[in-house]
Each structure stands twice: as structure tokens, then as C-alpha cells.
Amino acid sequence: MRKEIKAVIFDWAGTTVDYGCFAPLDVFVQVFKEIGIEITYEEARKPMGMLKIDHIKALLKMERIHSLWLEKFNRDYTMEDINSLYERFEKVLFASLENFSEPVPGMLDLQKELRERGLKIGSTTGYTKEMLDIVAPKAKAFGYCPDFRITSTEVPAGRPYPYMIYQNMITLAIPNRNSIIKIGDTTVDMKEGKNAGVWTVGILKGGSELGLSQKEVETMDHAQLKKLMDATAKRLYSAGADYVVEQVGDLPHIIDVINARMNSEEVI
């Protein structure tokens, strides 16, 4: 019997919507600035894809930020501090989140092609249910609507744990992990996919790991852009990606490649 991909499980921000994944970025920088600690955009992006409270924990653990905290408060941070930062993060993010729900270029055409091929479309995210409940309806109004969505707060643990992918498999009725592709834009997306044992594909343009706006991608010197994309691809491969593509429109080709590969060799 021919083996083939039956479902694609997408990340949300930076993969299917919110080109460049800018919705949470400014908010992380802002909430730390409000307590007197300046963090960089590069630092704010590093834990992207994690459950947002875990993202804040990861930022506080960074050596430079941790040192600034100790210098500022003369004590270590506590869970109360983490919760306070997270509460402020949620409040600011909720006020602007619906403005970052537009599908990335090529996503609607890709959705149409996947459905014409008979593939199911699932999704996972670092957003909480309350956050995705804002983003998803707005994305649907633009035309993007996966068959299933699940958030980090609806499973025992978020990324890099594989539970959101497992729930997709159950709900979409896909019993074979080799019949699934997980696509995302961060290293933690890649780890989520590999921990679930599914095919894992990284996305460059529009992704948080590359960290560029659409205008920057379109206007940047070609050689400079290629250098940044090559470095980003290397990080995604190191995190477990089976393949890395420039943009979402390249996924049909990768599906064909994986289907051919599964039918020419033993995949366990």
C-alpha cells in the first residue's frame, strides 16, 4: 500500500499568520522596560514558540537579563514576579492581538491546494486558548481556518513537548506519525515535531527565527538576505528539522518529496 502524508500541522504566528511574528515581540520588550530592564529584540525572540509564561521564565534565565534583574532589585526573581510580568504581558497583548491575524502571503493558496489533495489541516501554538480565541476568528475572516486547533494551555505542557501534536492526531484521526508533517518557524517548533516523531519542516520567510518584516525581506540586499536565511536554516536543522523551506508556498513540493521518500525506503 502506498504511504503518503495525510495531514499538515501548522504553527500560527510567524508561520500561517502575523508575518515576522511581531505581535508578542514588542510586548515582551515593553513589559520588561516598564520594570526598568531593557531587553533586546534578539533576546525577546529566542524563546519564541513557547507558552508565553514559559517564554518569560526563559528570558529571566538569560545571563544578561538575570544580571540586570539582580542589579535592579538586589534579589532573585520569584514566581510572583513571573506571574506579575505575565499578567501585564497578557493585558498589553490582548489589546492589540487581533491586528496580527492576517495570513502570510501564499497561505490561502496553500490551504486550498492541501484541501484539494485531501489533506487535513491541524495547528499548534505557543498562544494560550484565550489568545488564540482572538486570533483564530480574525484569521477565519481573512479566509484561513484549519480543521483543528489546540493551544498550550489545553494540554499537560506546551512546546517542546509533543502533546498538542498528539491531540491533533486524535481529533483528526491520523494514527500513523509518518503520515504527518509539522511546520513551524522556531527551533522549539522543530523540537515539538521531533519529540512527536513526525516529519518536521521549518519555514524561513515570515518566521520569528529569521526575524524580518515583509518589507525588510523584499528590500534587503539579496546576498545579505541569503546569509541570514542560511544561518536561520542551520539553526532549524540543528533543532531537528527534516527540511527547511523559504516560504509556505514551497510545502507542496516537500510533501511530494516526503511521499516519494516513504515509498522508496523503509520508514520506521
User: Are residues 187 and 49 in contact, defined by beta-carbon separation less than 8 angstroms?
Assistant: yes
What's the CA gap between 145 and 68, in Å, rounded? 42
Pick the catalytic residue from 11, 18, 189, 242. Answer: 11
Active site residue 185: no
- 3-state class (DSSP) for residue 224: helix
The one-letter amino acid code at 117 reads R
Pick the catalytic residue from 6, 18, 46, 52. Answer: 52
- Count of C-beta atoms within a 10 Å radius of residue 208: 30
CA 158 to chain centre: 12
Active site residue 57: no
CA 17 to chain centre: 10
What's the CA gap between 44 and 52, in Å, rounded? 11
CA distances from 99 to 19, 137, 143, 208 (A): 12, 12, 15, 17
- Count of C-beta atoms within a 10 Å radius of residue 112: 11
For the chain, the first-to-last Cα distance in angstroms comes to: 15
User: Are residues 19 and 214 in contact, defined by beta-carbon separation less than 8 angstroms?
Assistant: yes
The one-letter amino acid code at 79 reads M
Beta bridge partners of 10: 123, 183
- Count of C-beta atoms within a 10 Å radius of residue 88: 17
Phi and psi (nearest 5°) for 182? Answer: -105, 125
Active site residues: 11, 52
